[in-house]
Structure 1
Amino acid sequence: MFKLLIVDDEAFVVDSLGDTLPWEQIGVTAVFKAYSGFEALDILKTNSIDIMITDIRMPGMNGLELLEQVRRSWKRIKCILLSGHAEFTYAQQAIQHNTYEYLLKPISDEDVMTKVKEAVDLLHKEREENQSYQQVVRAFEENLPKLRGELLNELLQGRKYASQRLMEKLDSLKMSIKTDEQFAFMLVRLEGPMLDFDFYSLSLMEYAIVNMAEELSGEFFQLWSSKDVHGYMVFLATVSPDKQAELDGTPDKGMAILEEQLDLMGSQLQLNVNRYLKGTVSVLLNKWGSFPGDVQKLYQDSLLSLRRRIGNQSELLVYVADEIEQLGVQSLQKLYEPPHIIHLLESGNWEVTHEKLVSILNELSIKWADSQEHLIEVFFSVYASFSSFAHKNGRELADMIGPGLSEVSGLPACRSIATLEQWIFNSFRQLQQGMENETRNDREGAVRKIQHFVQKHLVEDVSLQAIADHMYMHPVHVSRVYKLETGENLSDYVLRLKMELAASLLANGALKNYEIGLKLGYQNPNYFIKVFKKYYFVTPQEFRLRLEEGE
């Protein structure tokens, strides 16, 4: 999607082109309007413009001067020049500045749309052919295994995706697995000397093991690999489409064949690691499940089996064919599945953090309402997240939520779910209010610094870029912070101060109108007169005469 900037000192031309033409139909999603070259530069500094239509003859800064600056700083913008004069010299200068198109007024709306559509098509083509774009594509291709592994790890940890969203992510990563497709896990634990390898050597070893596993999967399986948070290598195996079609006719026999092949792959992987890499691994093969609903459960079952059946032993091969026995006590799923509380707090997403806390308490209420240990587990987990968040912001937790809420002796918050819920949300509200107050104070301080700089340098350089450089902030952020805090555009504030200063200087009969304009940074006297009249509805000379009459 592309953005268009229209520049002309005749307001009706800009407004007519910007407001009446169906730009969305040709791929232009945003239209910006400027009534002078200086306004155009301010817009260009704070917005990513793709196409610019500008008149040539404008006061203060003409279209060719504007184009020259655009070519210095924004080379990729397609510039279309409009002019009511057919002098060849203009066309020559336009060509020198690599202008995309040169059009003579008057021009029909259809012709304008046609030229802009051609520029949009050219931008599409350039984007596809652009070397940096191709580099991004190549980098994406090179990092596909890593990106796939990260997605699998999210699913292993319990990250929930809407079905359509998950399928879109899988498709973007060129994964062919489908909803409800059958899969099995193979967990590989590296052992012995390999655990002492440095990062580089270990990465090479893991890369070699992945390649071995993919070679051993042969015609039977497609593998999706990842390294989990425990350092285990996890392989999600699905049946290849050709083999699935072959086995569909005999489901019972087919499952037996698949289990046999999975077992063979695990044992052969152990042998190959020992033979070719001089290392040892334990391998655990799990029962089959349905994607993605069974991913987290089967993964947790695999970890449980690994702890129970392998433990500290090494170079074992275990196939979990039986159902894992139902545990009497289980962990809270919502508490530990991503996104975690601390990460949500750090992102400043208060609404989603609140939803996360609600979901944790709901699970606690439904499953473990009578478990004192689960109450304490939730309390200390939330307390640790709140404390970590406070410390990362340079504060003690007691300073943010108050000594009453931060006091943990006696654990009064763990007496019941009701008291725990009350403590969590009271503390959460205090955290949120404290951070919002700090943010507001920071914005107020930034606005005061901006205003002080503008007042001090009003007759010098008070461009948006100069203000941004002084504040060590991006120009877009400067504009947004000022607008958010004051409700006024920064450019309007600067203009108001300049016009107020102009009005006071006009009372000095020794200063000529053009001298006042120059003092305020307006190099073109006519442009100063135009701006002054637009603000006060009278020219500087008329304003001066009124002052004299008032005297």
Structure 2
Amino acid sequence: MKLLIVEDEHHVRERIAEGIDWPSFGIEVAHAVGSGREAWTIVQKERIDIVLTDIRMPEMGGLELAKHVKRDFPHVKIILLTGHDDFEYAREGIEHGVLKYLVKPADNDEIVAAVLEAKELREREAAERHSIALLERQWKEHLPHLKGLFYKSWLQGRYAGWEIERRAHDLQVACLGRKLLPVALDMDPIPEGNERFRVSDRALVLFALYTMARDVLESEACAVVQDDDGVTAAVFMAAPEESDETLHARMNHAIDELLATVRMVLRLTASAGIGPVAADAQQLPRAYRMSRMALQERIVLGNDMAIPYRDTNPEEAGWVLLADLEKELELAIETGGPAGRRELVQRIMEAGFATDKPLADAKELLLRMVCQLARIVHAKGWTLRETLKGDYEAFAGFGSLLAKEQIAAWLQRMADRIGDTIAERRKSGTQLTIGEVERFIQERLHEEELSLYLAAESMYVNYSYLSRTFKEVTGQSFSDYVLRLRMEKAKELLGQGMKVYDAAERVGYRHVNYFSKSFQKYWGIKPSGMFRQPAP
């Protein structure tokens, strides 16, 4: 739930934005600004749920802001905060859809209570608008499209094994634990001089083939999708106990019926490429590639045919497993720790360097690991030499590794070095950002309008992220940090003999009385009593 705070008195604005632990109430302070015009710009650009605004402000007051918000964003809840206890303000505010009317000085508890009331109302209205029944209906309507995207991405090898299981479960696709037989279907070239279709109508007849395939083939035992290039993919499924011969017989009968339907309805021909049976979900992309390869054989064998794939050089399923492990290793290098990387290295060694593996396969897997590590580094725009530092020579000397234990130690060492470098640079980037904020504060300590929102805006950084990061690094909220610097600077200036009102102005206080109260509260003594002031 996003809250926008609009208050022209910066100390009040900072007190509300920084002095209340909003995240504990499920509230994110999207922005804290000093004018209604600035707030209106933000509401138009970002999703805001609640606006807490003062009434009297320069350029655009709170009531005018409420009028605009009510007109264009009626779901936004508005709370007015003002020092004028006037019935007319309240009445006009109600006309503009204002939820609450708080009279200054409203304490933090009052403000929190009002915002939470607005949050509850906003959530209740959203729930009513998006009721469970409506969501279920929309989900059912959208489910066929989502299933199609799932099958297409699966066939193209875009998912790791765990992703296939999770998405299949979420989309209620009964494909896990079943045999899978992919078939690629394509329209044969449209002959020149055809009376019904031109050569340029290829996209149209491809879509016609897809719709007919859905009518003839699609069922609980067969999924049909259209690939990115227009080829129709059909995945026949069978229980583990069903024999491959029975599955092929069922598939052949269905494909024959489809090709006959195409000839009868379109008076054109289509061909099919039949892949091998995939024993599990992770082997399906490979089997589908083979069905596409079989389809290409029509150049030699002719059109209007169902062509099975002839496997003359079978690919081992172990490489499919290693592809998944590589993805997990990359994730562990990017975000994990040494323990997670060690466990993955062990799994890679067990899968790829087993004692029964040929020497040529072991060498190829080592090259594959070298390429993957280099790709992770180069994708960030870094060089291997600057990333690996003292380990670069060991990386480049991978060809001298002879034993399985050496390879495992080498892979662990390189993964840890790259992972540590990523973590170090991510941390230094955070420190650099906080350093920029500290310079921003020092340069503008004399300005009254000094806020974390302005700092975030000038640095093109998210306000909530910067607020959280600043507190984690410095141990103080932005407003407490600024207050400390201002009080220390004021103490220093007064010690040099500067007049109170000049010192107040130098540290960003427009009103001397407010400065004196803040100084006394911070140091326990009035500024005029801490140091002897020079005679006027």
| Bin for the TM-score computed over the shorter chain | 0.5 to 0.7
C-alpha distance in 1, partners of 2:179/2:508? 71
Q: Which residue of 2 aligns with 1:337?
A: 324
Q: Which residue of 1 aligns with 2:171?
A: 170
Q: Is residue 389 from structure 1 mapped to residue 373 from structure 2 by the alignment? A: no
Uncovered stretches (5+) of structure 1, i.e. residues with no partner: 195-199, 245-250
SS in 1 for 2:446: coil
Q: 1:490 aligns with which of 478, 485, 509?
A: 478
SS in 1 for 2:162: coil
Q: Which residue of 1 aligns with 2:359?
A: 372
Contact 2:182 2:233 in 1 (8 A): yes
C-alpha distance in 1, partners of 2:281/2:308? 17
Q: 1:187 aligns with which of 178, 183, 188?
A: 183
Q: Which residue of 1 aligns with 2:282?
A: 296
* CA 120–346 in structure 1, closer or farther in 2 if over 3 Å, else same: same
Contact 1:282 1:317 in 2 (8 A): yes
Q: Which residue of 2 aligns with 1:266?
A: 255
Alignment of 1:318-337 (within 5 A): 318=307, 331-337=318-324
C-alpha distance in 2, partners of 1:455/1:221? 69
Contact 1:5 1:31 in 2 (8 A): no
Q: Is residue 546 from structure 1 mapped to residue 530 from structure 2 by the alignment? A: yes
Q: Which residue of 2 aligns with 1:247?
A: none
User: C-alpha offsets along residues 8-32 of structure 1, whole Å, 9 cap, x if unaligned?
Assistant: 999xx99xxx89xxx99xxx95257
* CA 425–493 in structure 1, closer or farther in 2 if over 3 Å, else same: same
C-alpha distance in 1, partners of 2:462/2:121? 31
Q: 2:421 aligns with which of 425, 434, 440?
A: 434
Computed over aligned residues only, the root mean square deviation of the Cα atoms, in angstroms, reads 5.8
SS in 1 for 2:171: helix
Q: Which residue of 2 aligns with 1:248?
A: none
C-alpha distance in 2, partners of 1:295/1:454? 57
SS in 1 for 2:430: helix
Residue 149 of structure 1 and its aligned partner are, at CA, apart by 2.5
Tell me whether 65-74 or 500-509 shows the greater mean CA deviation: 65-74
Q: Which residue of 2 aligns with 1:463?
A: 451
Residue 545 of structure 1 and its aligned partner are, at CA, apart by 0.9
Q: Which residue of 2 aligns with 1:160?
A: 161
Q: 2:396 aligns with which of 396, 407, 411?
A: 407
Alignment of 1:43-442 (within 5 A): 50-51=49-50, 77-81=76-80, 87-92=86-91, 94-95=93-94, 98-102=97-101, 116=116, 120-126=120-126, 129=129, 145=145, 148-150=148-150, 153-154=153-154, 157=157, 159-161=160-162, 165-166=166-167, 168-171=169-172, 177=174, 184-188=180-184, 190=186, 207-217=207-217, 223-225=223-225, 227=227, 233-237=232-236, 262-271=251-260, 276=266, 280-284=270-274, 294-297=280-283, 300-301=286-287, 303=289, 313=300, 315=303, 316-318=305-307, 331-337=318-324, 340=327, 344=331, 348=335, 356-365=344-353, 367-368=354-355, 370-401=357-388, 402-408=391-397, 411-413=399-401, 415-442=402-429
User: C-alpha offsets along residues 450-488 of structure 1, whole Å, 9 cap, x if unaligned?
Assistant: 322221222235322332333233333433444444444
Residue 170 of structure 1 and its aligned partner are, at CA, apart by 0.7
Tell me whether 484-493 or 455-464 shows the greater mean CA deviation: 484-493
Q: Which residue of 1 aligns with 2:490?
A: 502
User: C-alpha offsets along residues 143-177 of structure 1, whole Å, 9 cap, x if unaligned?
Assistant: 96366424553477462238984455215xxx5x3
Residue 388 of structure 1 and its aligned partner are, at CA, apart by 1.8
Residue type of the alignment partner of 2:442: Q
Residue type of the alignment partner of 1:397: L
Residue type of the alignment partner of 2:217: S
SS in 2 for 1:548: coil
Uncovered stretches (5+) of structure 2, i.e. residues with no partner: 191-199
Tell me whether 272-281 or 262-271 shows the greater mean CA deviation: 272-281
Residue 98 of structure 1 and its aligned partner are, at CA, apart by 3.6
Residue type of the alignment partner of 1:185: L
Contact 1:225 1:234 in 2 (8 A): yes
C-alpha distance in 2, partners of 1:252/1:376? 39
Residue 266 of structure 1 and its aligned partner are, at CA, apart by 1.5
TM-score for the superposition, normalised by structure 1: 0.66
Contact 1:225 1:233 in 2 (8 A): yes
C-alpha distance in 2, partners of 1:71/1:487? 40
* CA 426–301 in structure 1, closer or farther in 2 if over 3 Å, else same: same
Contact 2:77 2:118 in 1 (8 A): no
Residue 385 of structure 1 and its aligned partner are, at CA, apart by 1.4
User: C-alpha offsets along residues 25-61 of structure 1, whole Å, 9 cap, x if unaligned?
Assistant: xxx952579xx997xx99x99x98744678x79xx98
C-alpha distance in 2, partners of 1:127/1:528? 47
C-alpha distance in 2, partners of 1:201/1:543? 86
* CA 155–495 in structure 1, closer or farther in 2 if over 3 Å, else same: farther
* CA 384–299 in structure 1, closer or farther in 2 if over 3 Å, else same: closer
SS in 2 for 1:452: helix
User: C-alpha offsets along residues 369-428 of structure 1, whole Å, 9 cap, x if unaligned?
Assistant: 54322322221111111112222333332332233222247x123x22211111111111
Q: Which residue of 1 aligns with 2:193?
A: none
User: C-alpha offsets along residues 68-126 of structure 1, whole Å, 9 cap, x if unaligned?
Assistant: 7788899654234578986413413533664113478999x99x979955752444435
Residue 329 of structure 1 and its aligned partner are, at CA, apart by 5.5
C-alpha distance in 2, partners of 1:121/1:263? 59
Seq. identity, %: 19
C-alpha distance in 1, partners of 2:249/2:445? 81
Contact 1:85 1:104 in 2 (8 A): yes
C-alpha distance in 2, partners of 1:546/1:485? 32
Q: Which residue of 2 aligns with 1:454?
A: 441
TM-score for the superposition, normalised by structure 2: 0.68
Residue 504 of structure 1 and its aligned partner are, at CA, apart by 3.0
C-alpha distance in 2, partners of 1:405/1:283? 47
Contact 1:342 1:389 in 2 (8 A): no
C-alpha distance in 2, partners of 1:155/1:49? 40
Residue 361 of structure 1 and its aligned partner are, at CA, apart by 1.9
Residue type of the alignment partner of 1:296: Q
C-alpha distance in 1, partners of 2:113/2:470? 35
* CA 505–115 in structure 1, closer or farther in 2 if over 3 Å, else same: closer
SS in 1 for 2:382: coil
User: C-alpha offsets along residues 184-220 of structure 1, whole Å, 9 cap, x if unaligned?
Assistant: 43320548769xxxxx988766544332210212678
SS in 1 for 2:160: coil
Q: Which residue of 1 aligns with 2:467?
A: 479
* CA 452–72 in structure 1, closer or farther in 2 if over 3 Å, else same: farther
Contact 2:146 2:171 in 1 (8 A): no
C-alpha distance in 1, partners of 2:392/2:102? 71
